[in-house]
Amino acid sequence: MDTNQLKKAAAEKAAEFVEDGMMLGLGTGSTVFYLVEAIAKHVREEHLQITGVATSSRTAQQATSLGIKMIDINDAPTLDLTIDGADEIDQNFQGIKGGGAAHLLEKIVAINSKRNIWIVDESKLVEHLGAFPLPLEVIPFGCDKVFQRLTAENLQPKYRLDDKGERVRTHNKNFVIDLHAGTIAHPHLLADWLDHQTGIVEHGLFLDLVNTVVVGKESGVEVLQ
Ligand code: 5RP
């Protein structure tokens, strides 16, 4: 099976967690693409009444086009459940997100949800976080000063560039800096330090947020709790 089939299998399994009447957070990425398709199918076939909050315009457009009612997070009460992808997950369900530059909106939605589930293919499960470069969303004003501070801490920052060599802009027109520092031995300590750096709007360490991971494996789908 290729990676996309594993992502699709995980997404379809996770869609079974969606119940009638739920207020649902929908993440961003290629795995979530399959999730939105699977949820829309449940909604159609089982006449579920669900309302969604999206973490990107991509997800919002897809969900709306498939008939899922979407609202702004500011108009939503606490979300019942958010389902999202991830870039890396360790054995304690700590994760790195932001490969799609959506981690700021994803974290806002995640912390406003009663429950969070991640959907991944098995390549995303790791022993230690850090092989995947850690994304930071940084405001353009003074961003090179932030970059210098990160360099001084030996965090090996690189601006994320698009196909044309331009700096990637997030939903909020900020830049993305990826940290290529390798293994993150102490995720909480690093998250705490990053949280205190003025100019960094949000980092991609998602800690203590998730209690269920649905993994697409060659041997089948596994629900880890
Ligand atoms: C976007 C994310 C995604 O959830 C993460 O990058 C996983 O993406 P994919 O499902 O395409 O592998 O954090 O900011």
Six token digits for residue 96? 């790195």
With a 6 Å cutoff on the Cβ, whether 84 touches ligand 1 is yes
ipTM above 0.95, yes or no: yes
Which amino acid, one-letter code, is at 15? A
Note the pLDDT of residue 186.
97
Q: Which atom of ligand 1 is nearest to the CA of 124?
A: 12
Instruction: State the pTM of this model.
Output: 0.97
CA of 99 to the centre of ligand 1 (A): 5
**CATH number 2.30.40.10 is the correct assignment for the domain at 134-199:** no
Low-confidence spans in the chain with pLDDT less than 70: none
10-48 tens-digit pLDDT: 999 999 999 999 999 999 999 999 999 999 999 999 999
Domain ranges of the chain: 3-126+207-218, 134-199
With a 6 Å cutoff on the Cβ, whether 85 touches ligand 1 is yes
Considering the candidates 12, 88, 106, 137, report the single residue annotated as catalytic.
Answer: 106
- 3-126+207-218: CATH class: alpha beta
Is 137 one of the annotated active-site residues of the chain? Answer: no
Q: Give Cβ neighbours of residue 13 (< 8 Å, ≥ 6 apart).
A: 119, 214, 216, 221, 223
